[in-house]
Amino acid sequence: MTTTDRRDDIDAIKALKYRYLRCVDLRLWDELAQTLAPEVTASYGKRLSYTGRDEVVAGLQKQMTDGVITEHQAHHPEIEIDGDTAAGRWYLQDRVIVPEYDTFIFGSAFYDDAYARVDGRWVITRTGYKRTYEAMINLKDVPSFRLNDNHLAPADEK
């Protein structure tokens, strides 16, 4: 494999991870499923673990209801290619707003992922993170906080 091929693979894996996070935040469950191998495993911190594409998608769908606004950003990828498999580590920063409970959660973690090239495209075979920290704020303690827009809200509430 040439250096150019590895760069192309690294770019494809970066795009895959970004697509995965975008799909979570926008609740694009069918598109999210396309980023995952059928046998994927996922472990999100100490509380959530899933096995298999359908279970991962269903589990995230249950957690990420329309009453939960999320933002997930992955930075500083370290990607190692080994033929048709790869490993990736990412720095995660995330924010969660739950208006119903006046709650704002934020934190960071490091993702540890595995990937495989299947039929010419990369998919996630394992994903998960370990938290470096997680913090929570009661939004009632921030009197100036106001949610001006929410893409998940019904049209009459925007």
Contact between residue 16 and residue 122 where contact means Cβ atoms under 8 Å apart: yes
pLDDT value of position 3 = 55
Q: How is domain 3-141 classified at the CATH fold level? A: Nuclear Transport Factor 2; Chain: A, (3.10.450)
92: buried, middle or exposed (CB in 10 Å: 19+, 13-18, 0-12)? buried
pLDDT value of position 156 = 64
Nearest of 77, 109, 76 to residue 92 by alpha carbon: 109
Chain segment 74-107, per-residue pLDDT in tens: 999 999 999 999 999 999 999 999 999 999 999 9
Chain segment 118-141, per-residue pLDDT in tens: 999 999 999 999 999 999 999 999
